[in-house]
Every structure is written in structure tokens, then in C-alpha cells.
């Protein structure tokens, strides 16, 4: 590989692919440099949720940033879900996209009032298309007595993310974007008078602009990022096909579900009636051994929540690394003249797709807003890439979940 391009994109996940497709549609030459395989890391290792709304309580974000900025951040997630839907529709990507809605479930009785207050604030301030469901009302949504109420956000969706990402790659390539796999970036040098020289495992390329969409990359010249991103393992198991009757009995509403605990769960039904069930079963990095250990914990949790699945076979188990920021808000801007977007903190399907698109549009000269602009992003003290503190963080959150 050698030559020039308008934009070199580091990372072949959803942010990078979205940027490449957006640039290619605008007639701008783009090259994706992926250290492994396209969609092989976090973008392709999640549970397929594409949810609207902040993961934080809206009131807390409002108090920190002001109501208008908080609304902008909240509505960015709406825009992200809309963009995923538009890409799938316009590029004819067969990825089972469906507007399922999302339920955030109260895992303890004392969480009921907090969720109810948050929904009332959402409905008043930013999203009238929400509802609060009492425990009795949950019976029409989910076949378990484990939860005590929930907030419904109707604009959320789910999809087969792997097929969506590969569809983005094929669409970008068809329009002229070049994608290089096994092309780990080894060095990025800023040129004089302008542009960058990007050295990879497959050669060198010169670029007018660089987009960093590499998330938790643990290799390459990304020390500034590594000091600010915490790679946290997230783990998933998937059941055998349940059959329509069993699927209807456990998830009649077919919503995306998340829970209110710090170390909680997320789950949904697939188009072929499998239950995808995930969570941070262990505060550990993902690896083949770690994934298996975490999968066993998730299997126990699944059978506790849905005892009617006691004999159901588990067909798949995997893990991946979430690019977590300290405050769990995304970050996007410029550093040393390069554009970046990351820190999606477990909500990357919709937000990485949106931010890849926004970075590309800004490079193309469009005056489009960045919802995560100008947020302070200091390095995490003592953190240089390996998250040695994860076991302590996990222990802290387990205690908090027991006490609150």
C-alpha cells in the first residue's frame, strides 16, 4: 500500500465505515486502515441494541451542561437511530432493523421512584414519546416477575449489527472507498505545510485529513487516547431458537431491555426468536478464557430471571471491549489536527454511526453541529492503557448494587 488520499480513517468499525460511506457519497477519496478485520472488534461484538436516549439521568446531564445542551445530547441519540435506519434502507442492507422500543427495568423496589421521576422529567423536557410502566403493566412486556417497573422509550431499535456493518463496508467500497484490513497503524506524522503521513503494517499513505475511529486500540501511536479511554469487557450469550410460543411468553413486547443496576443486564429477541443476553458479568478484559467464565455467570443470571428457560441450550458466547470514558459520555473533536470520535461507553451502534457521519460531513465543509464538542477530557490519573483498576471498580459497583 502506498499513495495519497483525501482522508485516512483509522478503524474499520461503525464510526470508520459510516465516515467512509459519507465521504464516498460526497465524492471524497477515503481509505480505511483496520488493524484486524472490518467489524472485528467492539462494533461487531455487541448485543444489537440501537437505543435512543442518554444512558444517564437526564436531570444530571441538564444540571451539568444546561437544558439546551442536554436536549442536544439526548436528541443526538435519536438522530443516530434514524441514521442507522436510513443507511439500512437506502443501501438495502438486510440486517433485521426493527423499531422495537426500549425498556429500562427497575431491578429493585427502591429504583422504582427514581425511574419514575426520570421519565417525568424526560416527558416534560425532551421526549414526550416515553411512558412509565408499573410492575403490573410489565406483564404485557416481559415474562418475569423479577422487575418492579420500567421506563419505555419508543424510538429505540435493534438489528443484526454484523450484517449492518458489512453492508456499510460494501456500500462504501462500491462508491470508491478503499478498505485495508490487517493494516495496523504504526505511526502518524504531521507534514509541513499540511497533511499527514500514515505508516501501517502494509505500507505508507499520505492524507490531507485523518479520522481516528479506533476506540480501545491497544497498539499504535495512540497514547493520548489510551490515557482517556478505559477498555471494559462486555459479554454476551445467545440461546437456541426458542420457538414462537416460548419467545412470546418471555418477551411478548419484544423490546430491548436494560436494567437499573450498575452491573446489570441487557437483552432482546432476535428475528429468529433467540434471546440475546449480555452484561458486564465480570469487570475484566475480554479474552477466550474470560469470555467463557463470563458466559457461565450470564447463563446463571438468565435462568434466574427466566426460570422457564432452565433447559434451554446456549448456542453462542462472546465478549468485546467497550470504549468507556470516565463519565460515560462520548468525546469527539480534534487533536493535533486529527478528528476523533470515541468513548461511546456501550452505546456505540447508534452514536458511532452518527459521529462517523458528522466527522465526514465536517471534513467535507458542511456546518454540522457536534453534540460532544468542548467537553473537558483530562487523562485518567495512573492510567496508561492497561486498566489495572478494573477489579476494584467492579467490587465497588457490586457493593453499590447491594446497598442501593
List pLDDT tens digits, range 158-175: 999 999 999 999 999 999
**Residue range 204-222: mean pLDDT, rounded:** 92
**Residue range 187-194: mean pLDDT, rounded:** 91
Tell me: pLDDT of 27 over 90: yes
Tell me: pLDDT of 122 over 90: yes
Q: Are strands 203-212 and 196-200 parallel, antiparallel or unpaired?
A: antiparallel
Instruction: Map residue 132 onto helix, strand or coil.
Output: strand
How much is the pLDDT for 389? 72
**pLDDT band at residue 206 using 50, 70 and 90 as cut-offs:** very high
Determine what percent of the chain is predicted with pLDDT higher than 70: 95
Tell me: pLDDT of 288 over 90: no
Tell me: pLDDT of 277 over 70: yes
Q: What is the pLDDT of residues 306-333, one digit of tens each?
A: 999 999 999 999 998 889 899 999 999 9
Provide the grid cell at 393: 471498580
Phi, psi values for residue 279, rounded to 5°: 165, 175
Tell me: pLDDT of 218 over 80: no
Q: Which one, of 115, 96, 104, 177, lies nearest residue 142 by Cα?
A: 104
Q: What is the pLDDT of residues 30-46, one digit of tens each?
A: 999 999 999 999 899 99
Q: How far apart are CA 151 and CA 170, in angstroms?
A: 37
**Residue range 47-63: mean pLDDT, rounded:** 94
How much is the pLDDT for 315? 98
**pLDDT band at residue 385 using 50, 70 and 90 as cut-offs:** confident
Strands (E), 20-92: 30-33, 49-50
**Residue range 227-231: mean pLDDT, rounded:** 91
Assigned CATH class of 1-97+158-229+325-373: alpha beta
Q: How many residues does the chain have?
A: 404
How much is the pLDDT for 158? 98
Determine what percent of the chain is predicted with pLDDT higher than 90: 81
Phi, psi values for residue 71, rounded to 5°: -65, -40
**pLDDT band at residue 274 using 50, 70 and 90 as cut-offs:** very high
Q: Which residues pair with 37 in a beta bridge?
A: none
Tell me: pLDDT of 387 over 90: no
**pLDDT band at residue 125 using 50, 70 and 90 as cut-offs:** very high
Of 368 and 395, the structure prediction assigns the larger pLDDT to 368
Provide the grid cell at 78: 435519536
Mean pLDDT of the chain: 93
How do the domains of the chain map onto residue ranges? Answer: 1-97+158-229+325-373
Of 399 and 388, the structure prediction assigns the larger pLDDT to 388
Element housing 2 (H / E)? strand 2-10
Provide the grid cell at 223: 497514547
Q: Which residues of 237-261 are buried (b: 16+ CB within 10 A; e: fewer)?
A: bbbebbeeebbeebbebbbbbbbbb
pTM of the predicted protein model: 0.94
Provide the grid cell at 80: 443516530
How much is the pLDDT for 238? 98
Of 195 and 280, the structure prediction assigns the larger pLDDT to 195
How much is the pLDDT for 400? 64
Phi, psi values for residue 365, rounded to 5°: 100, 5
Q: Return the percent helix, strand and coil in the chain, to nearest 5.
A: 35, 25, 40
Q: How far apart are CA 363 and CA 369, in angstroms?
A: 12
Q: How far apart are CA 192 and CA 212, in angstroms?
A: 20
Q: How far apart are CA 194 and CA 74, in angstroms?
A: 36
Of 384 and 134, the structure prediction assigns the larger pLDDT to 134
Torsional sign, CA 26, 31, 34, 39: positive
**Residue range 132-161: mean pLDDT, rounded:** 96
Tell me: pLDDT of 402 over 90: no
Torsional sign, CA 37, 295, 236, 15: negative
Element housing 189 (H / E)? strand 185-190
Q: What is the pLDDT of residues 87-119, one digit of tens each?
A: 999 999 999 999 999 999 999 999 999 999 999
How much is the pLDDT for 320? 86
Q: Kindly give the residue spans of alpha helices, DSSP state H, lying in 91-148.
A: 109-125
Long-range contacts of 128-135 (CB under 8 A, 24+ apart): 129/153, 129/154, 129/155, 130/154, 133/103
Amino acid at each position: 500500500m502506498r499513495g495519497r488520499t483525501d482522508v485516512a480513517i483509522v478503524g474499520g468499525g461503525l464510526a470508520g465505515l459510516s465516515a467512509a460511506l459519507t465521504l464516498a457519497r460526497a465524492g471524497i477519496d477515503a481509505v480505511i486502515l483496520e488493524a484486524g478485520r472490518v467489524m472485528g472488534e467492539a462494533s461487531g461484538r455487541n448485543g444489537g441494541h440501537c437505543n435512543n436516549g442518554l444512558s444517564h439521568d437526564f436531570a444530571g446531564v441538564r444540571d451539568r451542561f444546561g437544558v439546551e445542551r442536554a436536549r442536544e445530547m439526548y436528541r443526538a441519540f435519536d438522530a443516530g437511530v434514524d441514521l442507522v435506519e436510513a443507511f439500512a434502507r437506502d443501501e438495502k442492507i438486510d440486517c433485521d432493523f426493527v423499531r422495537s422500543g426500549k425498556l429500562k427495568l427497575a431491578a429493585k423496589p427502591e429504583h422504582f421512584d427514581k425511574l419514575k421521576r426520570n421519565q417525568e422529567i424526560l416527558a416534560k423536557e425532551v421526549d414526550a414519546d416515553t411512558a412509565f410502566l408499573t410492575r403490573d403493566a410489565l406483564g404485557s412486556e416481559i415474562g418475569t416477575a423479577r422487575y418492579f417497573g420500567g421506563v419505555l422509550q419508543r424510538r429505540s431499535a435493534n438489528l443484526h449489527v454484523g450484517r449492518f456493518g458489512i453492508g456499510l463496508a460494501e456500500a462504501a467500497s462500491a462508491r470508491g472507498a478503499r478498505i485495508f484490513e490487517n493494516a495496523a497503524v504504526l505511526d502518524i506524522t504531521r507534514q509541513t505545510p499540511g497533511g499527514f503521513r500514515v505508516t501501517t503494517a502494509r505500507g505508507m499513505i499520505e492524507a490531507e485529513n485523518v479520522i481516528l475511529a479506533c476506540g480501545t486500540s491497544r497498539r499504535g501511536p495512540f497514547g493520548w487516547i489510551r490515557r482517556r479511554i478505559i477498555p471494559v469487557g462486555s459479554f454476551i450469550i445467545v440461546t437456541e431458537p426458542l420457538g414462537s410460543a416460548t419467545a412470546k411468553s418471555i418477551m411478548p413486547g419484544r423490546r430491548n431491555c436494560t436494567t437499573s443496576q450498575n452491573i446489570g443486564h441487557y437483552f432482546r429477541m432476535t428475528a429468529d426468536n433467540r434471546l440475546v443476553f449480555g452484561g458486564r458479568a465480570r469487570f475484566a478484559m475480554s479474552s477466550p478464557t474470560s469470555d467463557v467464565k463470563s458466559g457461565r455467570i450470564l447463563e446463571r443470571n438468565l435462568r434466574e430471571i427466566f426460570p422457564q428457560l432452565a433447559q434451554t441450550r446456549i448456542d453462542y458466547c462472546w465478549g468485546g471491549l467497550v470504549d468507556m470514558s470516565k463519565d460515560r459520555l462520548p468525546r469527539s473533536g480534534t487533536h493535533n489536527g486529527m478528528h476523533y470520535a470515541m468513548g461511546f461507553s456501550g452505546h456505540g451502534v447508534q452514536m458511532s454511526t452518527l459521529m462517523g457521519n458528522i466527522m465526514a460531513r465536517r471534513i467535507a465543509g458542511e456546518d454540522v453541529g457536534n453534540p460532544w464538542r468542548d467537553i473537558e477530557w483530562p487523562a485518567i490519573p495512573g492510567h496508561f492503557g492497561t486498566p489495572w483498576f478494573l477489579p476494584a471498580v467492579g467490587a465497588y459497583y457490586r457493593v453499590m448494587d447491594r446497598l442501593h
